[in-house]
Amino acid sequence: MRSAKDFFRPLAVGAPAPVREVPFRPSRMIHFFDPGNEKMAAKVPSIAPQVDVLLGNLEDAVQADRKEAARNGLVQIAKATEFGDTQLWTRINSLDSPWALDDLLTLVTEIGDKLDVIMVPKVEGAEDIHYVDRLLAQLEAKAGITRPILVHAILETATGVANVEEIAGASPRMQGISLGPADLAASRRMKTTRVGGGHPGYLVREDPNPSDSDAPRATFQQDLWHYTIARMVDACAAHGILPYYGPFGDIRDTLACEDQFRNAFLLGCVGAWSLHPVQIAIAKKVFSPAPADVAWARKVIDAMGDGTGAVMIDGKMQDDATYKQCLVVSELADTLAA
């Protein structure tokens, strides 16, 4: 049987451009914690085995006078903890802040052998990634680190969105991109005051009833983030890196969080951020294909044989294209089960 990858690489004819693909490691939830907060830091050993990615956050939500404490806290935690299969990421401060250089210097020198990915906020173009890439290369060489630390960009400025293609392809270190809806809303001068999710004012209303102009008319809330997620997913897919929905700030609204995560999953994202332990289970559920979908995908794959031609299953037409979709779902399930 063929694999989904066979379809997403150029044919080996002549001298095709090499397609780079980041090795897939489960990252359904990127769980944020403040390493300078003693209560949160104490929970790291019990939270780490529950999540795919643990991220020590140094940027927004950490007060300016706590930046050094957060950075030093992360160094201590990383040195004291065995993370097993859980990845360790950090979000450094933005490149226009007074802290980013010290973040990189300290973290790569002290715990570079334990850090899998560095998340860079407010990336505006390829030049931001090139800057981090060059610094990482120097710092890794100095510290004797042989496994390259990967880079993840947050898409959270209007300029960043305009340049998302070049950001995705800026360096072989690029691991993925997350949508940052809160900063992006501010950058675009949207009139929202929340972290991700929908808005009750962003809706369409059904047409008036011609025979009863006073009849109530239903409204349907629309997805504020559809355009940006779709754009980000395309850029990531074109460059072989992974797309993520970012944060959902209304911790109590687990239903809407699940809906937002699921929209992102269906559009191609592989994970989202969890800002509170309650969001860990939501992300795990949403970003793991549902057993019924996996069973259906396998049924189609079995029925399609070599993956060409057409068959009818339960009244639905299947062909080469649905076969490829089914491989994506089935292989994701296999990878997550491994």
Chain contacts with ligand GLV (rule: CB under 6 A): 60, 121, 154, 156, 180-183, 195, 246-247
CB of residue 190 vs ligand GLV: minimum separation in angstroms? 12
CB of residue 183 vs Mg ion: minimum separation in angstroms? 4
Q: Which residues ranging from 137 to 156 are in contact with Mg ion (CB under 5 A)?
A: 156
CB of residue 102 vs ligand GLV: minimum separation in angstroms? 20
Specify the stretch interacting with Mg ion by CB under 5 A; choose among 8-16, 37-45, 182-190, 273-281: 182-190
**Binding flag, residue 124, Mg ion (CB under 5 A):** no
Of the two residues 117 and 139, which places its CB atom closer to ligand GLV in the complex? 117
CB of residue 252 vs ligand GLV: minimum separation in angstroms? 18
Write out the DSSP string of 221-234.
Answer: E--TTHHHHHHHHH
By the 8 A CB rule, do 94 and 123 touch? no
Of the two residues 168 and 195, which places its CB atom closer to ligand GLV in the complex? 195
Write out the DSSP string of 256-313.
Answer: HHHHHHHHHHHHT--BEEESSTHHHHHHHHHTS--HHHHHHHHHHHHHHTTT-SEEEE
Q: Which residue of the chain is nearest Mg ion when measured via CB?
A: 183
Instruction: State which of residues 180, 196, 197, 271 lies at the interface with Mg ion (CB under 5 A).
Output: 180
CB of residue 65 vs ligand GLV: minimum separation in angstroms? 20
Of the two residues 163 and 322, which places its CB atom closer to ligand GLV in the complex? 163
What is d(CA 70, CA 99) in angstroms, rounded to the nearest whole number?
Answer: 11
Under rule CB under 5 A, how many of the chain's residues touch Mg ion?
A: 3
CB of residue 156 vs Mg ion: minimum separation in angstroms? 5
Of the two residues 228 and 318, which places its CB atom closer to ligand GLV in the complex? 228
By the 8 A CB rule, do 116 and 89 touch? yes
Instruction: State which of residues 183, 229, 236, 264 lies at the interface with Mg ion (CB under 5 A).
Output: 183
Question: DSSP state, 49?
Answer: G
CB of residue 27 vs ligand GLV: minimum separation in angstroms? 16
CA angle, residues 233, 11, 307, in degrees to nearest 5: 80
**Binding flag, residue 181, Mg ion (CB under 5 A):** no
Q: How many CA atoms lie within 13 A of 68 on its CB side?
A: 2
Of the two residues 123 and 304, which places its CB atom closer to ligand GLV in the complex? 123
Of the two residues 180 and 243, which places its CB atom closer to ligand GLV in the complex? 180
Instruction: Give the residues across from 333 on adjacent strands.
Output: none
SS3 for 173-211 is CEEEEEECHHHHHHHCCCCCCCCCCCCCCCEEECCCECC
Smallest CA-to-CA distance from 35 within 76, 63, 95 is with 76
Of the two residues 169 and 180, which places its CB atom closer to Mg ion in the complex? 180
Give the one entry of ligand GLV, Mg ion, none that residue 198 binds, where binding means its C-beta sits below a cut-off of 5 to 8 angstroms depending on kind. none
**Binding flag, residue 196, Mg ion (CB under 5 A):** no
From residue 213, how far is each of 111, 117, 209, 216, 217 by CA, in Å?
A: 67, 57, 6, 8, 9
By the 8 A CB rule, do 123 and 187 touch? no
Of the two residues 150 and 195, which places its CB atom closer to Mg ion in the complex? 195
Which amino acid does the sequence have at 77? Answer: I
CB of residue 92 vs Mg ion: minimum separation in angstroms? 12
By the 8 A CB rule, do 118 and 142 touch? no
What is d(CA 246, CA 279) in angstroms, rounded to the nearest whole number?
Answer: 12
The site for Mg ion (CB under 5 A) is made up of 156, 180, 183
